Chains A and B, each alone.
Chain A
């Protein structure tokens, strides 16, 4: 097991970063070290292991590449459709963070283990096997959408795949994920729940209450912070008294890890270890340092960061990183990888057509899905 739960030794606290200085440079992924900070905390830096060392086959790695690319192309097309006003409401893109959803999906038993996440949910949904068609149709507000056009971008659900949403109130889904794990344990299953949230949500009381309950009841839940450095427009060290978010685990007697979110292998390895812990009834926390390339939502002009910072992060792109790995290890040729890209682009194009052709929900459906009773009386 990667993280031990023995006697805790806390590393000396680094000096507090000034709110006026650039937070992101202060949290550069290059700064991650390979050795554990202590017996409590583990790190999973980028480029640490080969796929063979991780027990991944060539087919696994190619699947992961395809999955990340599908998420990227899906969202690029979604952004375009948003511009054409085919999609309403908010649209929070996951672009840049695909290694997290993909590394996770590879490490869990899909359909048995649960994933619950917040409003930036397209990546997790697609990585877990929800189809481009149902996802795009949901964005278009059509009846064939995964939530019958009632949820939209922030509310993707698949009961079958145990994709438990897609939740819009920051932090509020974290206790729900903890309850999903409670039910897993209550029923005597060895299944786990992964509760994903952003760096902004960790400051919600809901997280702290849930983490306390998970630690108290030994629930098979993994709290995963996708630290993409900004909560909307607020850099993490402008909102966090302790910007090393993984250290929050100490308060709840949990192991935690700091993981590179730019390397899908690092995510996969960390997830495997933490899922194994959860199956044995030990809750834990993972902070994954990542970066979103786009604004918080489509209306965000991103004035809170520089182009240089953004470009530097794009150089660490998780898809380009995996592509380079595939080429370097002669697992695929450039032409083969281009073909994968063509295929996912085609799949996404077809999903747009599917969404266009899917009917709008009938007005009578507005009264459906509220209660279990079909004939529930309404006052309107």
Chain B
């Protein structure tokens, strides 16, 4: 085990995989000579050269499409979006090409490609730079979506994503890049895609949260513990495929559930998980499932407003007390 920042864990995953397989390359805005807009790819140009660590113009549709074509023709690209907010420009490539061409070709072509970068809100950046997109992309069959909460998961899951033969959308967070954590240095450390992590075992309420929201959930859990409650916290880690088995087992044990999710609430990850719980575990529920999402508005700029916009530990704590009828 070694203590790494999240950005170092992501880099370690890319470096190890690129050392292993010549067909992997990294492409994106500022990934090469600038060493990465958030220094995730620092030093990679020096190690792998300009053939494999490639700067692009600011043209997401073009370079996302280029990566898809390269994957279709035998390479394994890693395409970095400076943030997922800019992936909207490349949405046509992600949805109409990466996700669908395997299907429309009757399975003839595979698309072993990873799109990665920071997702969600990062502070006072206003509406265009502060959106969480995992629920939007998760509605698209053909895509896999991973959203990580810590350095160890980042490394193990990114390595799995790079080795996967399908397009994987890998969502990080710029506010977590400096976060440190123990990371396995085992050879070929692979965390399977589609397996949730039970972060805290408990019996009173299940809190489900991924990415930054996981830390919101953990803080709320601490507040509940202070009051003598015993919450269970689950980080699904991969959004599609989603490990409903682990989630349902937990809900059947605690009989109560709160989902924390930075997506806007309508048709969010929380909505989907809540629906599946009511379908599969209705008889086990002692209270309606609650969700804590970003507010149902574009992200605002003002400091007090963006803080109010984000799902908070306080709101999560209150929601948990509500489903436990402790209010």
Contact = CB atoms under 8 A, between A and B. Distances in A.
B106 A151 contact: yes
Which of B64, B72, B106, B109: most chain A CB closer than 10 A?
A: B106
Interface string B76-118: 0100000000000000110011000111111111100000000
Interface stretch (B53-61, B222-230, B263-271): B53-61
A287 B229 CA distance: 72
A151 B96 CA distance: 13
B104 A157 contact: yes
Nearest to A368: B107
B25 to A, nearest CB: 7
B101 A165 contact: yes
Contacts of A168: 96
Interface in A114-171: 114, 116, 145-151, 155, 157-159, 164-169
B315 interface: no
Nearest to A187: B74
A318 interface: no
B142 A146 contact: no
B107 A179 contact: no
Given A159-B108, A176-B97, A370 B165 contact: no
A176 B164 CA distance: 20
Contacts of A231: none
Interface string A354-378: 0000000000000011111100111
Contacts of A172: 65, 92-93, 96-97
Contacts of B141: 370, 378
Nearest to B55: A216
B62 A210 contact: yes
Given A147-B105, A176-B69, A369-B102, A186 B75 contact: yes
B166 A371 contact: yes
A377 B93 CA distance: 24
Interface string A312-347: 000000000000000000000000000000000000
B142 A180 contact: no
Given A186-B51, A372-B164, A176 B102 contact: no
A369 B107 contact: yes
Contacts of A158: 108
B175 to A, nearest CB: 30
A175 B103 contact: no
B65 A370 contact: no
A134 to B, nearest CB: 10
Nearest to B60: A209
B73 A114 contact: yes
Interface in B119-178: 141-142, 144, 164-166
Nearest to B71: A179
Interface residues of B, number: 48
A180 B101 CA distance: 14
A89 interface: no
Which of B57, B72, B74, B75: most chain A CB closer than 10 A?
A: B72
A183 interface: yes
Contacts of B102: 369-371
A205 B247 CA distance: 43
Contacts of A81: none
Nearest to B62: A209
A166 B108 CA distance: 13
A58 B202 CA distance: 81
B70 A165 contact: no
Contacts of B63: 175, 209, 213
A373 B241 CA distance: 11
Given A209-B59, A216-B57, A369 B103 contact: yes
Contacts of B164: 372
B62 A148 contact: no
Contacts of B97: 167, 169, 172-173, 176
Which of A155, A179, A370: most chain B CB closer than 10 A?
A: A179
Given A169-B92, A175-B65, A370-B103, A157 B109 contact: yes
A316 B242 CA distance: 59
Nearest to B75: A183
Contact of B66 (A116, A187, A210, A371): A210
A182 B70 CA distance: 6
6 contacts: A164-B69, A175-B66, A206-B62, A213-B56, A369-B107, A376-B241
Given A213-B62, A371-B142, 16 more contacts: A145-B106, A155-B105, A164-B73, A165-B104, A173-B97, A175-B64, A175-B93, A178-B62, A179-B71, A182-B66, A205-B61, A206-B62, A206-B92, A209-B62, A210-B65, A377-B241
10 nearest CB pairs, A to B: A179-B69, A175-B65, A209-B62, A148-B106, A369-B107, A372-B165, A183-B73, A157-B105, A179-B66, A176-B69
